[in-house]
Amino acid sequence: MKIALNAEAYREPDVYKVERQSIWATEWIMFCTTAELAKSGDYFAGEIAGFNLLLVVNPEGSIVGFHNVCPHRAGVLAWPGQGTLGNLVCKYHGWAFGWDGALKSARDFGNDEPLCAEHSELKKVRVETWGPLVFVCLSESTPPLHQSLGSLVDKASSFPIETFKYARRMTRELACNWKTYVDNYLEGYHIQLIHPSLNRSLKMSTYAVSVHDDSYCVHECEPADGSPVAGLWLFRYPNLAMNIYPDGMNVERIVPIGHNKTHVVYDYYSVDTSEANIARMVAMSNEILDEDQDMCEIVQKNLDGGIYQAGPLSPKHEMCLDWFQSKVERSHR
Ligand code: FES
Ligand SMILES: [Fe+2]
């Protein structure tokens, strides 16, 4: 019998500290879209598990990435969000940096003594793209993105992702550990109980989940009679979910903001980017997210409460949780 990850892993700040290094500073993590970094000077700044990052398009048209942390006294080069930057200048005391991250000038610092790299250079992060998705990686030793994605790329290619246009982002904050929400995403066992309208659109007896390449899993299900064509639901470790349909997709990221707080970020893409169509997509995922949020937050309270330690995982419905939780557990060692 497979047993779930211990409740401590979902509540202890020390576990989160370990995961920041062993997962979030190691894996390729989707960060934003190519639509937000389309031309020279465009930037996107945001946070992943306490790492403040800045991506910007340099004058040559390449996306470059840095920790959004000034080597002087930890100021930022850009406020979180998106926009355009003419150059890289710290918002705090005005130190200026080149596009390679090297210090150009330490404004009115007071002496000309040379500063070592540690005290003067921005720390770089790796950036690569897959279709419209921009990924970052904080580790030098992780294999390149396309190697890491493996057969996921082929799997998704049965849908015309390249023809979908990015339309909107929705971010929701959940009062739970990031893994509580991922666990929920990884099984369809709860659909009949908490998602009545999703349940009506699916032939639940055909619901199946499978793990591939030790890096992603797939949910498949036939549509209920009379429902529109079903899609493909992919989850890539550690936090990327892609819900793909023939005419559009929503790409969902589960981003920890602390040990007990998580952002679920949805990016909507479609062939038809009319307001009516995007509003329909948003409403659909909002309904499901409302239902999942209520359950995840009450489950988190129970994980925090100390009565539950770890329960059995269904061999029929919860093998993706076993895979995911085993990977997470290995990262704790
Ligand atoms: S913190 Fe950046 S210039 Fe001072
Ligand atoms: Fe759900």
Write the pLDDT tens digit of every residue in 96-134. 999 999 999 999 999 878 899 999 999 999 999 999 999
Give the per-residue pLDDT at 158: 86
- pLDDT exceeds 90 at position 80: yes
Reference 226, options 243, 201, 204, 244; nearest CA is: 201
pTM score of the predicted model: 0.96
Mean pLDDT of 192-211: 92
Mean pLDDT of 53-59: 98
Q: Phi and psi dihedrals of 239, rounded to 5?
A: -150, 15
Domain boundaries, given as residue ranges, for the chain: 29-141, 150-331
Nearest protein Cα to ligand 1, atom 4: 93
Query: Lowest mean pLDDT: which of 158-162, 298-302, 329-333?
Result: 158-162
Q: Find out if CATH 2.102.10.10 is the number for domain 29-141.
A: yes
Mean pLDDT of 83-108: 97
Does 76 contact ligand 1 (Cβ within 6 A)? no
CA of 104 to the centre of ligand 1 (A): 13
Supply the mean pLDDT for the chain. Answer: 95
Mean pLDDT of 237-258: 95
Of 92, 107, 115, 120, best ligand 1 pocket probe by most atoms within 8 Å of the beta carbon: 92
**150-331: which CATH architecture?**
Alpha-Beta Complex (3.90)
- pLDDT exceeds 70 at position 229: no
Give the per-residue pLDDT at 161: 87
Does 223 contact ligand 1 (Cβ within 6 A)? no
**Measuring CA to CA, how many Å separate 145 from each of 137, 139, 247?**
9, 12, 26
**End-to-end CA gap in the chain:** 22
Mean pLDDT of 33-39: 97
* Pairwise CA distance, residues 327 & 309, whole Å: 19
Mean pLDDT of 311-323: 97
**Measuring CA to CA, how many Å separate 208 from each of 186, 211, 229?**
11, 11, 16
Of ligand 1's listed atoms, the one at least distance from the Cα of 74 is: 1
DSSP 20: I
Angle at 25 between CA 21 and CA 27, to 5 degrees: 120
Give the per-residue pLDDT at 227: 72
Strand partners, 51: 48
Q: Which ligand is the nearest neighbour of the Cα of 193?
A: 2
Nearest protein Cα to ligand 1, atom 3: 93
Percent of the chain with pLDDT over 90: 89
Of ligand 1's listed atoms, the one at least distance from the Cα of 93 is: 3
Does 327 contact ligand 1 (Cβ within 6 A)? no
CA of 291 to the centre of ligand 2 (A): 7
Does 75 contact ligand 1 (Cβ within 6 A)? yes
Of ligand 1's listed atoms, the one at least distance from the Cα of 107 is: 3
- pLDDT exceeds 90 at position 189: yes
Read off the pLDDT of residues 266-301 as tens digits, 9 standing for 90 and up.
Answer: 999 999 999 999 999 999 999 999 999 999 999 999
Q: Which ligand is the nearest neighbour of the Cα of 88?
A: 1
Helices (H), the chain: 13-19, 117-120, 145-149, 152-156, 178-185, 191-194, 196-201, 275-305, 319-331
Read off the pLDDT of residues 128-158 as tens digits, 9 standing for 90 and up.
Answer: 999 999 999 999 999 999 999 999 999 999 8
